[in-house]
Amino acid sequence: MRYYTATKSRNQGRDAWSVIFRHPVRLDVSTNKPGRRVRRGLGTADEVEAAALIDELNEILRTPSLWEPAARVGAAARFDSRVVDIFYDGLEATQVDFSAVRDQLLPLPGAEQGYRTVLLLGTTGAGKTTVVRQILGTGKRSERFPSTSTAKTTVADTELIPTEDPVFRAAVTFVPRDEVIDYLTENVSAAAVSALKGKNDRVLTRTLLDHVGQRYRFSYVLGRSVDEETDDLVDEDETETDDVDPTEYGAVDLAATMQVVQRAVQAIRVVAERHADVIRQEVEPDETDERVISEYIEENLDTVLRESDEYHEIVDALIDEIEKRFTSVAVGELRRNRQGWPLSWTWTTTERRDFLRVLAQFTSNYAPLFGRLLTPLVNGIRVSGPFTPAWGGPSAKLVLIDGEGLGHTPKSAAALSTHVTEQLLKADAVLLVDNAIQPMQAAPVAALKSIAVSGDAAKLHLVFTHFDQVRGPNLPSFQAREEHVLASVENVLKSIGEDLGPAAERALRRRLDRARFFVGAIQTPLEATVGTKIGQRSIQQFENLLAVLAHPELAVDAGNSRPVFDRMNLSLAVAEATKEFHARWRGLLGLETNTDSPKAHWTRVKALSRRLAEGWADGYEDLQPVANLRYELQRQIYLLLQRPLRWEGGIPSEDERQAIIDDLANAVTTELIEFTRRRLKDDVRLGWQAAFAQRGPGSTFIRARMISSDVLDRGAPIPTVSASPDQNRFLKDVAAIVTTAGQERNVVLE
C-alpha cells in the first residue's frame, strides 16, 4: 500500500490556493495503477486556511479506512466539505446528464405544447446551420447566430426554440473540467512530438492550442499570437468587423495570456528533449535505423511525460488561464459544481441585439473575439425566443437540434455515433442537409442507412443546399437541375437496397418523393434575394418544408397481420453481425488486411483506448466500436425482419409490412444502444485500461492485440457451435432484446 501527501500551490497571477496530490485509490490510466494526479482549487486565498485544509486532506490520505466511497458520510462529519468533495470526487462512477441540467433551467416544449423536435444532420460544411439561420431569421451578418464556417463549427448540441413569447432565454452547460484537462494533456503531448521533429514555435503553439480533432480549439479561449493569419476556421462573416467591439466581452489581458502560452511552448521543448533522451537509452544498442528509434520515442513519449511533474505544471498553467475566462461573463447566472468548475449559465432578456451579442461568447467562432470566447468549453446550449423567418410567415412550433457535422471522409461514414442515434430515436423529424453540387457522399449515405435500420425512415426530410451552383449547359431549368441531383440519389438508393434489402430502399424512396427540398443562395438573407428567381424559389421551398415539418402525414396503421420468424435465423444474424464487426476492427487495428477498413494510426488507437479507459466517451472521431457493433446488429436484424417464415392474420399490404418492420426495428435499436455500450464500454473497462497503459518495445502491436482479444472478443464474441458461456450470454441477450420487442407487438419467434 502506498501513501501520498498533498501540497498546496498557487500559480502566478492567482490569489486562490490549490491542492495537488496523488489519489491512493483512483486509477492513473497511463500506468494502470492507483495514483491519479489530482489538482483542485481550495476556494480560499487565505494561506492559513489553505494550510488547514491541506492538513485535513493529508489526514484522509494516511487513513486507508477513509478511502472507500462508503466512508464519505463519516468523513463529512469530521472534515471541511471542500476537502471531502476534493477527495471523494471521481471515486464513484457518476456522469452528469447535461441535457437534464438544461431541462431544469429551460424545459423543452413537447407535443403537449404543440411542438415537434427536428434533428438536423449533415456533412461538415453542407449548410445545415445556414438552414437554421434562415428558419430563425438570424441570417444577418450583424447577428451571426448560430456560427457557420467552411470547417467543423457546430461541436455542441444547439437546441433552438422559436416562440411567440417576447422574452429571449438561454441555458448553457459546460464540458467537465477533467475532460478539458484530458484534451489539454493530449495537446501538450502532440506539441512535444512536434518539438522533437524540429517544428518552429508557431507550429508548436497551434498544436498546443488546437486539438487535432477540431473539437477543442483552445485558441478561441486563449487567443492566437498577433502574427497568426486568419484561416478557414474563422467565421464566414469575417468581413463585417465594425459592429463588434471585443471589449464588450470583458477585460482580458491577451498579452499576458500569450506569455503563458509561450512559456508553455518553451517548457515543452525542454521537457520533450530531456525525456526523449531517457527513452532513447531504452532502445536496443544495436538498433541503428533512425526511423525506428524516432517512432519508438514518439510512441512512448506520451506515457513518460504523463509521469512528469513538469508536464502537469504546463497543463495546470493553461487550465488556470482557461478558467479565468469565465470571470469575463458579465451577465446572467453562472453556476458551478462542488469543485468550483462552471456547470451552467442562464440569462433572460427582452433585447434581441443584447441577447445575440452576449450569446456570441458561448457560440461564436469569430476571429476578432479569439481570446474571449468560451465556445469550445460548451457542450450544450438551449435558446428560446421570438425567432421568425425574415422573409415572412409565422414561426413554426419546432425545436431545432443542430449538432456536430457527420464528417467529410469515407472513414467517418461507418455508423452514426451512439449520441446521434439516441437523438434520432427521440426526434419527431430528421432533416438531412446535403450539398446539391456533390450529393450523397459517404457520410450522408451512412446516415440514410442508419436511419433506415433504426426504423426511422418515416421521419426523414431531405434538403439539398447550394442549388444555385448546380449549373451546366444541359441544365437550363430548375426541373433539369433537380433531376440531375436526383439521379445521384437514385444510384445511392439502389445501392442501399442491395445492402439492406428492399424495405430500406422502399422506405427511403418514399421519403425522397414526399419530403425533398432544394434551396440556393441561402448564405445571405433570403429577403434580400426576393427579386431573383432562385431567391423566390428558395423561400417557397422553405415554406413548404416548414409546413411539412409542422404538419406531418399520418402514420400508417400496422393492421392485424403479424410475422413469424425462425429463432435459428436470429442466431445466424447475430453471428454474421459479429463477424462483420470483428473483420472491420481487425483491419483498423492492423491485425489483418482490410481494404474497406485500413489500419488506423497508432496515435488514434491510443487516444481511443484512453477515452474508453477513462470512461467518458465510447469512441474517438471515426473510431466508434460501440456504434459499429450496434449498427452491424441493427443491419442483420433489419434484414431478418424482411424474411419472416409466414404471416398470421393475413398478408399485409406493402405499407403495413413497412410499418411493422420499422416499429420492430425501432424498438430493438432502443435496447441495442444500451446493450452495446455496456458490452464494449462498461463491462470491459479494465481491458481498455490495460491496453492504454502499454509502453515499451512493440507496445503498439500489443495494445492492438489486447483491444482485439481482451475487449472486442470478450464484449462481442462470435457465436459458434461449441460456444463458451460468454458467447452464449451475448447471443441470449441479443435474442432476448428481439424476443421482448416482438412479444410486445404480438410477433412470434419460433
pLDDT (tens digit per residue) in 8-17:
988 766 778 9
Owner of C-alpha cell 472521431: 621
Least confident of 265-279, 337-351, 437-451, 510-524: 265-279
Gap between the Cα atoms of 362 and 381, Å rounded:
8
pLDDT at 414: 66
What is residue 557's predicted lDDT score, i.e. its pLDDT?
80
Output the pLDDT for position 186: 87
Please indicate whether residue 388 or residue 214 has the higher confidence score (pLDDT).
388
Q: Is 580's pLDDT higher than 90?
A: yes
Between 292 and 57, the higher pLDDT residue: 57
pLDDT tens for each residue of 58-110? 999 999 999 988 889 889 999 999 999 899 887 766 678 999 999 999 999 99
Cell of 422: 439516441
Q: Which run of H or E residues covers position 348? A: strand 342-349
Distance CA 241, CA 608 (A): 40
DSSP H or E run through 630 = helix 625-641
The answer, yes or no, to whether the previous bond of 146 is cis (omega within 30 of 0) is: yes
> Which of 4-18, 159-173, 353-367 has the highest mean predicted lDDT (pLDDT)?
159-173
Q: Rg of the chain over CA atoms, in angstroms?
A: 27
Amino acid occupying residue 309: D
Q: Is residue 339 scored above 90 in pLDDT?
A: no
| Planar angle of CA 720, 721, 727, nearest 5 degrees | 45
Dist CA 74 CA 83 (whole Å): 13
Give, for 701, the enclosing helix (H) or strand (E).
Answer: helix 699-706
| Residue type, position 263, single letter | R
pLDDT at residue 162, rounded to an integer = 94
Q: If you average pLDDT over residues 593-598, what whole number do you get?
A: 91
* 367-377 per-position pLDDT tens digit: 888 999 999 99
Per-residue pLDDT tens digits for 614-650: 888 899 888 999 999 999 999 999 999 999 999 998 8
Q: Is the pLDDT of residue 228 over 60?
A: no
DSSP 548: H
Nearest to 302 by CA among 186, 218, 208: 186
Residues near 573 by beta carbon (within 8 Å), at least 6 away in sequence: 636, 637, 639, 640
Query: Closest Cα partner for 416 from 98, 715, 676, 213?
Result: 676
d(CA 517, CA 519): 7
CA–CA dist 619, 610 (Å, integer): 10
Q: Domain spanning 103-175+333-550: which superfamily?
A: P-loop containing nucleotide triphosphate hydrolases (3.40.50.300)
Q: Flag whether pLDDT at 51 surpasses 90.
A: yes
SS3 430: strand
Largest CA distance in the chain: 83
> What nine digits make up the cell of 350?
427582452
Which whole number is the average pLDDT over 536-549?
91
How many other C-beta atoms lie within 10 A of the C-beta of residue 695? Answer: 18
Q: Give the pLDDT score at 170.
A: 97
Q: Which of 193-202, 288-297, 552-561 has the lowest mean pLDDT?
A: 288-297
Q: Rounded CA gap, 265 and 314, in Å?
A: 9
What is the residue whose three cell numbers read 461573463? Answer: 329
User: Which pLDDT belongs to residue 294?
Assistant: 73
What's the confidence (pLDDT) of residue 284?
Answer: 58
Torsion on CA atoms 320, 325, 331, 336, rounded to nearest 10: -30
pLDDT tens for residues 400-449? 998 777 764 444 456 889 999 999 999 999 999 999 998 998 889 999 99
Residue 407's closest CA among 607, 155, 600, 122? Answer: 122
Closest CA to 36 of 108, 78, 87: 87
- Domain regions of the chain by residue span: 7-88, 103-175+333-550, 177-328, 562-749
Q: Residue written as cell 469565465?
A: 326
What pLDDT is attached to residue 522?
87
State residue 512's pLDDT score: 94
Residue 342: cis peptide before it, omega within 30 degrees of 0? no
Of 70, 67, 51, 68, whose CA–CA distance to 6 is shortest? 51
| Residue 163 vs residues 115, 146, 240: alpha-carbon distances, Å | 10, 17, 29
> How confident is the model over 253-274, as a mean pLDDT?
91
Q: Is the pLDDT score of 463 beyond 50?
A: yes
C-alpha cell at 59: 489526514
Torsion angle in degrees (nearest 10) through CA of 154, 159, 163, 168: -70
Is 136 a residue whose pLDDT tops 80?
yes
pLDDT, the chain, mean: 87
Mean pLDDT value of segment 533-561: 86
Q: Whole-angstrom Cα distance, residue 364 to residue 129?
A: 13
- Interval 273-299 mean pLDDT: 70
Residue 112 CB neighbour total at 10 angstroms: 6
d(C-alpha 672, C-alpha 629), whole Å: 9
Average pLDDT over residues 535-561: 86
Q: What value does the mean pLDDT take over residues 642-661?
A: 91
User: Which pTM does this prediction carry?
Assistant: 0.88
The phi-psi region of residue 696 (left if phi > 0; otherwise alpha if psi is between -120 and 50; otherwise beta) is left
Q: Which helix (H) or strand (E) holds 734?
A: helix 725-743
Tell me if residue 555 falls in helix, strand or coil: coil
Model pLDDT, residue 147: 78
Q: Could you tell me if 137 and 387 are in contact, meaning their C-beta atoms sit under 8 angstroms apart? A: yes
Q: Are 468 and 521 in contact (CB under 8 A)?
A: yes
Rounded CA separation 181/187 (Å): 10
- In the three-class reduction of DSSP (H, G, I as helix; E, B as strand; rest coil), residue 501 is classed as coil
Cell of 488: 445521384
Distance of CA 273 to the CA centre of its chain: 34
Q: What is the mean pLDDT of residues 98-127?
A: 92
Name the grid cell of 601.
494510426
Return d(Cα 220, Cα 235) in angstroms, integer.
12
Residue 232 predicted with pLDDT over 60: no
The Cα angle at residue 492 between residues 490 and 498, in degrees rounded to 5: 110
Q: How far apart are CA 665 and CA 672, in angstroms?
A: 10
Sheet with 37-41, strands from edge to edge, namely 7-9, 18-22, 37-41
Q: Is 399 helix (H, G, I), strand (E, B) or coil?
A: strand
From first CA to last CA, the distance across the chain in angstroms is 56
Cα-based angle 187, 193, 199 (whole degrees, multiple of 5): 100
CA atoms within a 13 Å half-sphere pointing along the CA-CB vector of 229: 3
Query: How far is the C-alpha of 152 from the C-alpha of 232, rounded, in Å?
Result: 10
Q: How far is CA 726 from CA 95, 618, 719, 721, 722, in A?
A: 28, 21, 9, 13, 11
* In contact, 519 and 511? CB cutoff 8 Å: no
Residue 294, classified by CB atoms within 10 Å of its CB into exposed (0-12), middle (13-18) or buried (19+), is middle
* Residue closest to 132 by CA, chosen among 352, 396, 366: 396
